[in-house]
Chain A
Amino acid sequence: MLASVFAKTLRDRLRAFRWWCLGTFAFVSLYASVYPSISGKASLNKLVKDYPEALKGFIGFGGNLDFVSGPGYLGSEVFSFWAPIVLTAVAIAAGSTALAGEEERGTLDLLLSLPVSRTRCLLEKLAALVCEALALAFVLWILLVIASYADGMGVSAGNLAAAVFGVLLFALDFGLLALLVGAATGRRGLAIGISATLAVAADVLNALAPLASWLNDVRLASPFYYYSHGDPLRHGLDYLDTLVLLAIVVVFAALAPLLFRRRDLASP
């Protein structure tokens, strides 16, 4: 487990990762146990119709205001709220700790006195981040497949995979932003602050867009829009949306080493 920077980074994250898995299990169980009492109660949807528009934006998913069908329930409860928060939190935690965390603790000085280039160090830590987020997304997907089957939600494993993959990419966008800010500045708090703020802004921007016509164009700048507007729980993967989310990952991954290489590392 200590053969490379990649392996060492994963090992460091393992302790926290077990808790994230446990939390995911607890939440999916909770959602799954509530669903049978909501299922088929169309009056609920009527109630929500009279909600203020601003609120609807936050609780709807993919433009649907439907809470009583399987995809509607999972969309509004899991995918517009809880899943993006958890996965983004994990990705930002991993991204900010990767380089800025080591730099602030002073261990980066010694690590980069070894024959490991800065770019390689960064890329191995980036790979560990992707693996960690991917592993948690996989756990989430398995649990949702089981829940959907057990509760008869009628969402296929393929469509669940499309939705989880969307959350994963959304989370990686901000995890890599945290890595990039950390690589460029060496400051972990700043990396968390900027990436978490922008992640929340992406959600709010997308949710409020229906309120004003000028916002409708601005929402195109929000990764949350590309993650949710195609309603993957009903329609599966939208390739163009996926490509946009993936492009953000690639741009940040390409930019981070450039910024990391040219900088003075802080003295421990």
Chain B
Amino acid sequence: MNAVIRAEQLTKYYGASRGISGLSLEVEAGEVFGFLGPNGAGKTTTIRLMLDLIRPSSGRIELFGLDARRDSVEIRRRVGYLPGDLHLYERLTARELLRYFASLRGLDGIGEGKSLAERFELELDRPIRSLSKGNRQKVGLVQAFLHRPDLLLFDEPTAGLDPLVQITFNELLREVAGAGGTVFLSSHILSEVQRLADRVAIIREGSLELVEAVETLRARAFVRVEATFAKPPPKRAFAGLPGVRELERKGPVVLFALEGPADPLIKALARYEVLALDSHEADLEDFFLTLYREGANGAR
């Protein structure tokens, strides 16, 4: 029972518009927890509720067993945060900004800032206004790691980072988790979360769809095949093929989800005139498509 984050029926409305509704989840110490959902699903709302930047309409949320509202300052002492929409003090240099944040956290100098900046190859003495988006994001990451926090809250952290920096970022996440720290990471990219996280929660339109280990999620992965026919094939032409589900149909274009060998599908396709064939690993939207298919079938 040592949940680092515990949300119970957490609900947030902005006036009449939905933020999140009835969200319950637990994140354990030492795990990298992926929070996956399309833009506007409520990921940022959830993270800002944890930091007491906004207040829930109902329900409650605890971090380290402390109340997010009442014990907010104590919680923030132990949390590192990277906002999804990062705004820094433009006139300061990165070093000045880190010194400012370090002293507000009660640290000497810039804490871990110097070694972190070296790992990210961040120039500390240039004014932030002259930095590229990627370099600003590095400043944001360094300030989040500055005080060796027990919990990292990252809202879309890899936006604007080049692949080499992403590798450094992944290493740091692993180090934090290895040392018993916890990472809560939001993203709208399925493959990113699969690469980084141990467990994944999927949120859509403010509600939690599922929480699963990444391994389990990977087992449900499929290949997305899109076939364009010369003319629309008959309605039930591909029914009952093993490992094949028809997801969508738009005139002559049919979208399949394929699990396992491709042979049955290829043989079935060959009975019609195929103009184009495209296939790639499923992304989040495809994943949702199958999720809802299953939901609809289950209800029947």
Contact = CB atoms under 8 A, between A and B. Distances in A.
A38 B198 CA distance: 83
A112 B87 CA distance: 13
A5 B103 CA distance: 10
Contact of A114 (B44, B48, B74, B76): B76
B96 interface: yes
A107 B88 contact: yes
B79 to A, nearest CB: 7
Q: Is the interface of A mostly helix, strand, loop or mixed?
A: loop
A74 B53 CA distance: 49
A222 B189 CA distance: 59
Interface stretch (A43-51, A171-179, A260-268): A260-268
Interface string A112-138: 111111000000000000000000000
A30 interface: no
A26 B295 CA distance: 76
A268 B54 contact: no
Nearest to B97: A2
B87 A265 contact: no
B88 A114 contact: no
B54 A264 contact: yes
B194 to A, nearest CB: 27
Interface residues of A, number: 23
B35 to A, nearest CB: 17
Contact of A116 (B81, B85, B104): B104
Nearest to B144: A113
Interface in B84-104: 85-89, 91-92, 96, 99-101, 103-104
Contacts of A112: 51-53, 76
A95 B87 CA distance: 21
B104 A114 contact: yes
A4 B104 contact: yes
Contact of A115 (B48, B99, B105, B143): B105
B104 A264 contact: no
Interface in B21-67: 44, 48, 51-55
B213 interface: no
A241 interface: no
Contact of B88 (A3, A110, A113, A265): A110
B55 A109 contact: no
Nearest to A5: B104
A115 B77 contact: yes
A16 to B, nearest CB: 12
B73 interface: yes
Interface string A1-15: 011110010001000
B85 A265 contact: no
Given A113-B53, A115-B76, A106 B85 contact: yes
A114 B54 contact: no
A99 to B, nearest CB: 13
A235 interface: no
A2 B76 contact: no
B83 interface: yes
B112 to A, nearest CB: 15
B72 interface: yes
A115 B104 contact: yes
Nearest to A110: B83
Given A8-B100, A106-B85, A110-B83, A116 B73 contact: yes
A116 B103 CA distance: 11
B178 to A, nearest CB: 24
A106 B48 CA distance: 13
A105 interface: yes
Given A2-B99, A114-B105, A109 B73 contact: no
A117 B73 contact: yes
A109 B86 CA distance: 9
Interface in A168-194: none
Nearest to A106: B87
B276 to A, nearest CB: 42
A265 B53 contact: yes
Given A4-B103, A112-B53, A107 B87 contact: yes
Contact of B51 (A5, A113, A117): A113
A2 B76 CA distance: 20
Contact of A3 (B79, B83, B103): B103
**Nearest 6 pairs between A and B by C-beta?**
A106-B87, A113-B81, A115-B77, A264-B54, A2-B100, A115-B76
Given A109-B85, A110-B81, A114-B105, 17 more contacts: A2-B96, A2-B103, A5-B104, A109-B48, A110-B83, A113-B76, A113-B79, A113-B83, A114-B76, A115-B73, A116-B104, A117-B73, A262-B55, A264-B54, A264-B55, A267-B85, A268-B83
